[in-house]
Structure 1
């Protein structure tokens, strides 16, 4: 009999195989030229199985973990309650980005494909907005505020989303040579300092 743990691992493996196949085929042919049938065949599953995990090839490329609830919320709520919100958010984001850095080659390739394909921009914006809403909801839950009415959760969610986008763009331009946590800290430190003017060259 297949236990719940084994079923969950098999689902995770299938999702990972589909995401990897999407990335490989997009790198070989461009995402526009790739079909779901090709992705499913490369991953060794049926066409219908693909849609159990992703709504389309764009999502498989941009959000390889799937469309389920994001992980930032649980990570934020799992931080020490004594930590200030922004410190807790920084720690949660470090955990998030550590996952990306553990698969650095794949994410560097993914970011290259995204940068080179303007057709992905609307979907990327949509996913970014979803991520910011998830961050807003998590901050609201931690602070006991209302995500719809109160300013603080929405503002923090937007700022964190922007910091992550800038951090990933810098990491991509540097070809992964700088650690993601350090780049994130630079962005968050600059925001916390109120974005002071850059020092004039001596």
Structure 2
């Protein structure tokens, strides 16, 4: 029974990932306004009914990879040594998730352009980021002996880490910095951990 349940969950995760990847690719290639649920389902080789078992809208499917990525990161954070400082765990996991290849940069730029051109997708992205922050906060609370239902600490750490990573990623993806992505992320974490000291003139 356990094997069957595990196989079923893996198949569901694979279907969700296929739908999200198809939605994102079609949105970048065609523009969100030209993408339908039927087209996404066909690209993932499933029925529109199956699509609605996973997502309520095309916009939700387009940004679903953010939530799935956050789930993988939280699993990795939970697997870090229990006595490791939480910021060390976060930095190790975030840096380990980077892809700073030219191909990844081009994909990120195309995705950012697509998202910023459509308010509905921006709203879905913001909702996904909030889900990610809350999931991180729960994991951080478990690691630090705090309570995510009433303590500020895990939410502030989760928000600071997530925003630090996104800020470095945005700067890198838009081509406004020629520095390697891992350097930008490492510096962002270092600055936040230091309390954001004002740079010298």
TM category, shorter:
0.7 to 0.9
Size of the aligned set, in residue pairs, is 199
**Distance in 1 separating the partners of 2:69 and 2:99:** 19
Question: Which residue in the other structure is 2:93 paired with?
Answer: 92
Q: CA deviation at 1:9?
A: 5.5
Question: Which residue in the other structure is 1:15 paired with?
Answer: 16
Question: Which residue in the other structure is 1:111 paired with?
Answer: 112
Is residue 49 of structure 2 the alignment partner of residue 48 of structure 1? Answer: yes
Question: Which residue in the other structure is 2:78 paired with?
Answer: 77
CA contact (8 A) 2:100 2:181 kept: no
CA contact (8 A) 1:112 1:172 kept: no
CA contact (8 A) 1:76 1:92 kept: yes
Question: Which residue in the other structure is 2:159 paired with?
Answer: 158
TM-score normalized with structure 1 length: 0.80
- Tell which deviates more after alignment, 25-34 or 62-71: 62-71
**Distance in 1 separating the partners of 2:16 and 2:150:** 37
Q: CA deviation at 1:140?
A: 0.4
- Cα root mean square deviation, aligned: 3.2
Q: Alignment partner of 1:51: what SS?
A: helix
User: Residue 108 and residue 16 in structure 1: after superposition, are their counterparts in 2 closer, same or farther (change >3 A)?
Assistant: farther
TM-score normalized with structure 2 length: 0.81
CA contact (8 A) 2:106 2:173 kept: no
Q: CA deviation at 1:185?
A: 0.8
**Distance in 1 separating the partners of 2:78 and 2:136:** 11
Deviation string 1:75-123 (CA, Å, 9 cap, x unpaired) is: 1121122321111111122234459999655444322311332332222
Gaps of at least 5 residues in structure 2 are none
CA contact (8 A) 2:41 2:47 kept: yes
Q: Alignment partner of 2:120: what SS?
A: helix
Q: Alignment partner of 1:70: what SS?
A: helix
- Tell which deviates more after alignment, 105-114 or 32-41: 105-114
- Tell which deviates more after alignment, 74-83 or 4-13: 4-13
CA contact (8 A) 2:134 2:158 kept: yes
Relative contact order (alpha carbons < 8 A, sep ≥ 6): 1 or 2 greater?
2
**Distance in 1 separating the partners of 2:107 and 2:147:** 37
Deviation string 1:118-152 (CA, Å, 9 cap, x unpaired) is: 33222222111111111111110001111122232
